[in-house]
Amino acid sequence: MLPNWVELVPRPSEVGDIDEDAPTLEGNAIIKANEIAQFASEWAIADDTGLEVEVLHGAPGVHSARFAGENATDADNRARLLQVLEGATNRAAQFRTVVALVSAKGDIHFVTGKCAGVIADKERGDNGFGYDSVFIPTDGDGRTFAEMSDAEKDAVSHRGRALVQVPDLLARIFGLPTP
């Protein structure tokens, strides 16, 4: 997917946990990529993802990982979401992923991927993590992400839709032909 001149390496072990304290997904992705870019003196890529529920005015959004509290587990967050939406007729939601590409000089670029769907009435499926067992993508066949194989989920997911844009972004940044 990426041009052959791009080498992806894991986050250096010397870079510990990075505080994701921005009020937006874009801000958190930039914070993470910038921290790594400054450490490595190279371009860095990072992402942040949130579940945005229409009737909750976009919540949990940037707070998706701690919707049920600061030390909440994925199961706690799903239970809280289902509790809050109990009886709701509008269960429309979307996953949104922001991928930030940041240079050591502070140049910032980002792309966004979205996946529209609805929140199920109860958990279904065992695959995945986070809110996968309660999210039914509109582009799917009525199954939750957790009922899909990894390949099926990747074909319609927000993260996949963001990452597929990265090669074109790199080509624009570096003035190269699009892949």
Q: Catalogue the active-site residues.
A: 48
**DSSP H or E run through 101:** strand 92-102
| Best CA proximity match to 29, nearest among 115, 118, 111, 152 | 111
**DSSP H or E run through 96:** strand 92-102
Q: Output the furthest CA–CA distance in the chain (Å, rounded).
A: 52
Counting runs of H as helices and runs of E as strands, what totals does the chain give? 5, 5
